[in-house]
């Protein structure tokens, strides 16, 4: 597992939970808040991996979106037959979501201690959230195991420690896993496929699939960090779309997604 750091001017005495909430509330504010951009969900890599398992659970299955951000997944799945609770630590964002989507369930909360009843959820998905605490992923995994019913599915994605990061780390470049000297604080963990599988197995899950995703985003980032090309330049976007299909996921993928199951109770 590899650590990423972020430069934070307000690093002061703020604890990690307060920092995470402030950081993401600011990100979502800069992005203009919830917009209901849920039409794009079925085209997403996460959805294509998740869909067969959702079909197995059947319509009406109760889902949890852990760290729902702008809430697009919560809205889409609720309106397509899967009542979903969107849980997020950002109080302001959750308040906006509640006002915008009164037919959908959103709640402020912490995925390490959700307050939900044990065995009450059929499927739990969380995209890009379990990695945000320096103590590691286990508090999130432990709570996921508690709230899922036996046989329920967990879908989780985290930033991938791909071979580009590993090589850069070995050469002392980005992702070098060393704490930068000044004004930086822990931002997130990156994991490779084996590490994510191991974390879930340690937490008591049966691991069904582990897949690198978002290769195009990985190429975009490599072009930015390696050649200084800006993310929103046409040339960067065109090159990443053209190159991504030919580069192995383990080398370049930006995220890694796992599907796991809570074991059935022994008789």
Ligand X SMILES: C[S@@+](CC[C@H](N)C(=O)[O-])C[C@H]1O[C@@H](n2cnc3c(N)ncnc32)[C@H](O)[C@@H]1O
Shortest separation between residue 265's beta carbon and ligand X, angstroms: 27
- The count of other CB atoms within 10 Å of the CB of residue 35 is 11
Q: How far is the CB of 38 from ligand X (least distance, A)?
A: 11
User: Nearer to ligand X by C-beta: 31 or 264?
Assistant: 31
Closest distance to ligand X from the beta carbon of 109 (Å): 6
Q: Residue 132 CB, nearest distance to ligand X (Å)? A: 5
CB of 145 to ligand X, least distance (A): 16
Q: Which is nearer to ligand X, 132 or 165 (CB)?
A: 132
DSSP 195-235: HHHHHHHHTTPEEEEEEEE-HHHHHHHHHHHHH---TTSHH
Name which of 125 and 205 has its Cβ closer to ligand X.
125
Residue 249 in tokens: 């996921």
Pick between residue 129 and residue 147 the one whose CB is nearest to ligand X.
129
Q: Which two tokens stand for residue 132?
A: 């945000």
Q: Which is nearer to ligand X, 70 or 252 (CB)?
A: 70
Rounded to whole angstroms, the Cα distance separating 10 from 15 reads 11
Contact 200, 154 (CB under 8 A): yes
- Residues at the site binding ligand X, with contacts judged by CB under 6 A: 20, 24, 67-69, 87-90, 110-112, 127-129, 132
Q: Residues near 54 by Cβ (< 8 Å), separated by ≥ 6?
A: 61, 82, 123
Shortest distance (Å) from residue 267 CB to ligand X = 35
End-to-end CA distance of the chain: 36
**CB atoms near residue 232 (< 10 Å):** 8
| Residue 198 tokens, joined | 């191991």
Between strands 121-127 and 148-159, the pairing is parallel
Residue with smaller CB distance to ligand X, 187 or 205: 187
Closest CA to 218 of 175, 176, 261: 175
């Amino acid at each position: 597992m590899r650590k990423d750091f972020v430069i934070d001017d307000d690093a002061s005495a703020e604890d990690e939970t307060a920092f995470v909430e402030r950081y993401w509330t600011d990100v979502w504010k800069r992005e203009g808040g919830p917009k209901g951009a849920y039409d794009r969900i079925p085209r997403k890599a996460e959805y294509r991996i998740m869909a067969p398992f959702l079909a197995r659970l059947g319509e009406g299955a109760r889902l949890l979106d852990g760290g729902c951000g702008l809430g697009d997944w919560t809205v889409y799945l609720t309106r397509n037959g899967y009542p979903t609770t969107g849980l997020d630590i950002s109080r302001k964002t959750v308040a906006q979501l509640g006002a915008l989507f009164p037919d959908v369930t959103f709640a402020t909360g912490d995925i390490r201690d959700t307050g939900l009843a044990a065995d009450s959820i059929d499927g739990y998905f969380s995209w890009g959230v379990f990695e945000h605490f320096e103590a590691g992923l286990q508090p999130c995994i432990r709570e996921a195991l508690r709230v899922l019913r036996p046989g329920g599915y967990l879908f989780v994605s985290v930033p991938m420690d791909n071979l580009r990061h590993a090589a850069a780390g070995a050469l002392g470049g980005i992702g070098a896993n060393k704490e930068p000297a000044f004004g930086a604080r822990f931002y997130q963990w990156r994991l490779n496929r084996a590490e994510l599988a191991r974390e879930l197995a340690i937490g008591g899950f049966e691991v069904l699939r582990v897949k690198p995703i978002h290769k195009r985003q990985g190429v975009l980032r490599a072009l930015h960090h390696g050649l200084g090309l800006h993310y929103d330049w046409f040339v960067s976007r065109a090159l990443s779309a053209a190159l991504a299909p030919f580069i192995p996921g383990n080398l370049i993928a930006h995220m890694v997604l796992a599907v796991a199951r809570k074991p059935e109770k022994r008789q």
